[in-house]
Structure 1
Amino acid sequence: MAGYLLRRIIQALLILLGVTAITFILLYLLPADPARQIAGRSATAATVQSIRQQLGLDLPLWQQYLRYLGNLVQGDMGRSYIQRTEVASLVWSRLPATLLLMAGAIVCELVIGLGAGIIAAVRRGRPTDTAIMVASFLGVSAPQFVVGILLLYVFAVQLGWFPIGGYGTFAHLVLPSLTLGILGGGWYSRMTRSSMVDVLRQDYIRTARAKGATGGRIVLVHALRNAVLPLIAMIGLDVGIFMSGAVVVESVFGWPGIGQLTWQAIQQVDIPVIMGVTLTAALFIVLGNLLADLIAPLADPRIKLR
C-alpha cells in the first residue's frame, strides 16, 4: 500500500505540473492584455507598460512560469489582477459552497442513475427499459441551463416549493443539485444497465437463483456489488468535473461557488484566478481518482492495488 501511494503521489505531481504548464501556455497565447484590462481603456501606453512590468508580464514566458512555480511551491497562488486579493483566499472562500453542491449532485445522480439503471436491466427488452434509456439520452443531451431554467420555472416560480436562487439552506441546494444530477444520472443509468445486464448473465447469478434466492437479493446483493465498480471510477471523475465544470448551473442559480468565480475570471481575463481554479480542479480530479481506486477493492476483494 505504501509503495502504491508513493507512486500515485509522484504521478499526481507530474500531472499537476503538466496541467500548470499547458494552462499557462494557453493563457499566454490569449489575445487579451491583462495589463490593459487592469489599467482601463483610457490609460496611457506608459501606464499600461508600468503595470505590465509590475506584474512581470514583460518577462519571457519561461521566466514567468518558473516564477509562478516558485511561488506555488511556497503556497502562493498569486494575486487576482482585478480583485487585488490572494487567489488562495478567493478559492478557499468559494470551496465550501462548491463542495456542498458537488456532494448534492453526486447523491442525486447516484439515486437517479442506480435506480433507473437497475430497473432497466431487470426489465431488459421491455417498454420500461426503452422508456428509461430514452429518458437517459434526453437527460444527457439536454443543456444544463435549459434544465436549470425549467426546474426554476416549475418548482420555484409556479409551485413555489424552492427559492429561485441563493445559498445557505437545504432548499437552496435541491434544484442546482438536481440539475447536475439529471445530467450525471443519464450517464449512470446507462452504465448501470450495461454492467447489470452483463453481471446478471454470470454463472454465480444462476447458482443463486437455483438456491432459491429472491429476485431482490440477487439484484441488490449479488449483482449490484460487481456492477457498481465502473460507477466508482465515474464518481472519481465527477469530483473534479463538479469542482470547476458547474459554471452554468452556479450562474443560473446564483450559487457562490468556484464555477461562478471561474466565469468571472474568464470574463475579466484574470489569469492568476484562472490558474488557481484550474489547478484546484486538477487536484480534486487526481484525489477523486485515487479515492476511487482505494474504494474499489472494498467492493471487489479480487482487485489488488499494485
Structure 2
Amino acid sequence: MMAYIARRLLQTVVILLGISFVTFILLYLIPADPARQIAGRSATAQTVENIREQLGLNLPFYEQYMRYVGGLVQGDFGRSYLQKTEVSTLIASRLPASLLLMAGAITCELIFGLTMGIVAALRRGSRTDDTLMIASFVGVSAPQFVVGILLLYVFAVKLGWFPIGGYGTFAHLVLPSLTLGFLGAGWYSRMMRSSLIEVMRQDFIRTARATGNGRAKVLFRHAMPNAILPVIAMIGIDIGLFMSGIVVVESVFGWPGIGQLAWQAIQRVDIPIIMGVTLVSAFAIVLGNLLADLITPLIDPRIKLR
C-alpha cells in the first residue's frame, strides 16, 4: 500500500510540473500585457516598462519559468499582481467555501443519483424507469445558470425559504448544492442503473437468491458493493472538478470560492493567481482519483493495488 501511494505521489509531482509548464506557456503567449493592466491606461511607456522589469516579465521564457518553479519548490505560489497579496493566502482564504460547496454538492448527487439509479434498475423497462431516465437526461443537459436562477426565483424570491446569495450559514449552502447536485445526479443515476443491472445478472446474485436471501439483503449486501465501484471513481473526479471551482454557480449565488477567484484573475490577467488555482485544481483531481483508488479495495477485496 505504502509503495503504491509513494509511486502515485511521485507521478503527481511529474503531472503538476507538466501542467505548470503548459499553463505557463499559454499565459506567456497571450496577447494581454499584465504590466499594462497594473499600470493602467494612462500610464506612460516608461512606467509600464518599469513594472515589467520589477515583475520579471522582461526575462526570457525559460528564466521566468525556472524562477516560478524555484518558488514552488519552496512553497511560494507568487504574489498577486493587482491585489499585492500572496497567492497562497488568497487561495487558502477561499478553500473553506470551496470545500463546503464540494461536500454539499457531492452529498446531493449521491442522495438523488443513487436513489434514482437503484429504483430505475429494479424497475427496468417500466414507466418509472423511463421517467427517471428522462429526468436524468434533463439533469445532465440543463445549463447550470438556468437551474441556479430557477431555484433562486422559486425558493428564494417567491417562497423566501433561502437567502438570495452569500455565504456563512447552512441556508446559504442549500441552493448552490442542489444546483450542482441536480446536474450531477443525472450522471450518477445512469451509471448506477447500468452498473446495477449488469451486477444483478451475475451468477453470484442468482446463488444468493437461491440460498434464500431476501431481496433487500441480495441488493445491499451482495449487489451494491460491486455495482457502486464505478460511482466511487466518479466521486474522485468530482472532487477535483468542484475543488477547481464552479464559476457559473459561484457567480449566480455569490459564493466566494476558488472559481470566483480564478474568474476575477482571468479578467485582470493576474498570472500568479491563475497559475496557483490551476495547480491546486490539478492536485485536487489527482488526489481525488487517488482516494477513489484507495477506497475501492476496501469495498471489494478482490481488487489489488499495483
Q: Report the TM-score, using the length of structure 2 for normalisation.
A: 0.98
Name the SS for the 1:166 alignment partner: coil
SS at match of 2:304: coil
- Contact (CA 8 Å) 2:106, 2:181: kept in 1 or not? yes
Instruction: Give the match for residue 212 of structure 2.
Output: 212
- Letter in structure 1 aligned against 2:125: G
1:231-266 deviation per Cα after TM superposition (whole angstroms, max 9, x unaligned): 111111111100124111111101111111011111
The alignment-based identity, stated in percent, is: 73
> Separation in 2 of the partners of 1:67 and 1:217?
59
Give 1:2 deviation, angstroms: 2.0
Residues 1:179 and 2:193 are matched in the alignment: no
Match of 2:16 in 1: 16
* CA RMSD, 1 decimal: 0.8
CA–CA distance in 2 between the matches of 1:219 and 1:149?
38
Show the counterpart of 1:121.
121
Equivalence for 1:49: 49
Gaps of at least 5 residues in structure 2 are: none
Question: Deviation digits for residues 83-103 of structure 1, max 9, x if unmatched?
Answer: 010000000000001000000
TM-score normalised by the chain length of structure 1 = 0.98
CA displacement, residues 147-181 of structure 1 (integer Å, 9 cap, x when unaligned): 10001011111111111111111111011011111
Aligned-residue offset at 1:53 = 0.6
Deviations 1:32-77 (A, max 9, x none): 1100000000111111111111101111111100000001111110
Matches of 2:273 and 2:67 in 1, distance apart?
16
Matches within 5 A, 1:157-196: 157-196=157-196
Give every structure 1 segment of 4 or more consecutive aligned residues whose post-TM-superposition deviation is greater than 2 Å.
none
Q: Distance in 1 between matches of 2:217 and 2:148?
A: 37
* Distance in 1 between residues matched to 2:160 and 2:294, nearest whole Å: 43
1:147 corresponds to which letter in structure 2? V
* Residue in structure 1 matched with residue 3 of structure 2 by the alignment: 3
Show CA shifts across 1:94-140 (max 9, x none).
00010000000010001111000001101111111111111111100
Deviation of 1:211 after TM superposition, in Å, equals 2.0
Give unpaired runs (5+ residues) of structure 1. Answer: none
For 2:243 and 2:35, how far apart are their aligned partners in 1?
28
**2:144–2:179 Cα contact (<8 Å) kept:** yes
